[in-house]
Amino acid sequence: MPVKPILKAGAVFAALILAYTAVLAVSVMAGEDGGLSLGAALAAPMAFLAAWAIAALLHKRPAVFTALLAAAAFTAYLAAALWADRWPSSDFEVMYSLALTLRGGGAETVRDSLYILRHPYQSLFVAYQSLIVSPELGRFTSLLIGNAVWMAGIAVLIYRIALWAYSTRTAAFLAALYLLYPAPYLLAPVLTNQHIALFFVLLGIWIFSRKYDGKHGLLAGAALALGNALRPDGILVFAALALLALTAWLTGERALRLPPLAAVAGGWLTGCLLSLLVTLSGISAQGLGDADPLWKLAVGLNLETGGTYSQRLKEEMSAAGDAEARRALEKEVILRNLSAGPGPLLAFWGEKNRYFWGAYEETGWAFREDDDRAVPVTGRPLRETLETLKQTERLMFVPVVLLALLSAALLLPRGRRTEVLPVLCGLFLAVFFCTHLVTEVQTRYRYLVMPFLFWLAGPGLEWLSEFLSPRKPAGACPVPEKPAVDKSSAL
């Protein structure tokens, strides 16, 4: 059906967010002392050319491409994870220690630990780590292998989901480009729950792509709930799905409301079941709840630190006493910052967004600052290589965002059609952007939104490919046409 005004309004909002993030990334790069390195200036366009060549060569055989992508992604991510030599810090160290304790039979110790008492939602990830950790293989080797498995799965799911709405060449290009995108490699050595949680979130969306109906919606919701139980990011996807159901209703496609609503219902039921199972296991007396729900808001609205982590605020909360006293203090901090006035708040959000969307990736979680080993691929010291990778990531981020911006613009002319995937991506981007206006930000949190940005770039990429080609390229699909996969999901 033709795109209705509600979708056009959403496209305008998404376009504004995308344009804003692109400007922030460019402004940060322009303000860096010393400018961009020659290596980064060459690596970014070479990555796009390599992705184009890979897609042109292999896109006609999706099964073969999937197998090659899985093997290449696992090998590359595992190499990055194992090469780093950094002991986990902060929460990662705490969860690793708790996993070792749980593996040794100390379920009561884990349950009564201060960390689980305050963050019971981390208990399922601790249980996962305890199942696969194997000190006999090396301190963290088994966990890093697990990271590589989930990250390879993410790369494959990005490709398979892109096939839902786009041509085989576009899907192959997006997957190959993501494989060459530096940011995941900088997070591969980190013992974080982001990898496994994102895998199950994308698995839920992939289930949608198999068939857009109520049954698959329930299964998708279960996978999303598992991802959310491992890290509470899936709630943002559930919010986007609820908005998708509302959009389908407002555009007159009421039959399309059922799958996202079924996913929300299935996710709620699965989440309750998982929380009950964790409670019965004895790992957490509070299931998968959050004993300190206001903490992320208190940090995210802290004008003094620009919405980033504050050790001083953490110490203040710890000294406040019991949970009730902490919540009262957190509420006081939140209200005090919100009452600062329009001027300070706008300046705060501007600086916060500049950091979150524009800043270079942080590498301290995975690599030591004093590590001057030569990197095998580049032959240069690690410190120099990391700087090049961080600049390359930004130089690749901006074109992807601009392609997504073009995709949003393509919804505005009359007579256009669209598919569920780009609409879901636009809705998720809006939810993600607005949520991080008020919650804590770190550059590694962008990891969650990147697959959605790559998918959102799909329509723009196909239009650009058709526009630049004198004739229709093999495997390309103009935006107005429906894909061959599950045509029941068109909006």
The pLDDT tens digits for 2-44 are: 457 778 888 899 999 999 999 999 999 988 776 788 899 999 9
Helices 123-132 & 258-281 angle (0-180, nearest 10): 70
Confidence grade of residue 316 (pLDDT, cut at 50, 70, 90): confident
The pLDDT tens digits for 369-408 are: 777 888 887 788 888 899 999 999 999 999 999 999 999 9
The pLDDT tens digits for 82-117 are: 988 778 888 899 999 999 999 998 889 999 998 999
Rg (CA), the chain: 22
289-299 in b/e burial notation, b at 16+ Cβ within 10 A?
Answer: eebbebbbbbb
Confidence grade of residue 68 (pLDDT, cut at 50, 70, 90): very high
Q: How far apart are CA 368 and CA 212, in angstroms?
A: 46
Residues with Cβ within 8 Å of 275's Cβ and at least 6 positions away in sequence, in order, are 229, 287, 288, 289
Which residue range is the domain that position 397 belongs to?
Answer: 5-489
Instruction: Kindly report the average pLDDT of the chain as a whole number.
Output: 89
Listed in order, strand segments (DSSP E) in 443-490 are none
29-46 in b/e burial notation, b at 16+ Cβ within 10 A?
Answer: beeeeeebeebbeebbee
Q: What is the token pair recorded at 138? A: 């090396």
Is the sign of the CA dihedral 420, 426, 429, 434 positive or negative? negative
Confidence grade of residue 174 (pLDDT, cut at 50, 70, 90): very high
Q: How many domains does the chain have?
A: 1
The pLDDT tens digits for 401-456 are: 999 999 999 887 655 556 789 999 999 999 999 999 999 999 999 999 999 999 99
- The pTM is what? 0.93
pLDDT at 1: 40
pLDDT of residue 50 exceeding 80, the answer is: yes
The answer to whether 488 touches 434, Cβ cutoff 8 Å, is no
Angle CA 236–241–243, to nearest 5: 95
The pLDDT tens digits for 132-172 are: 998 788 788 999 999 999 999 999 999 999 999 899 999 99
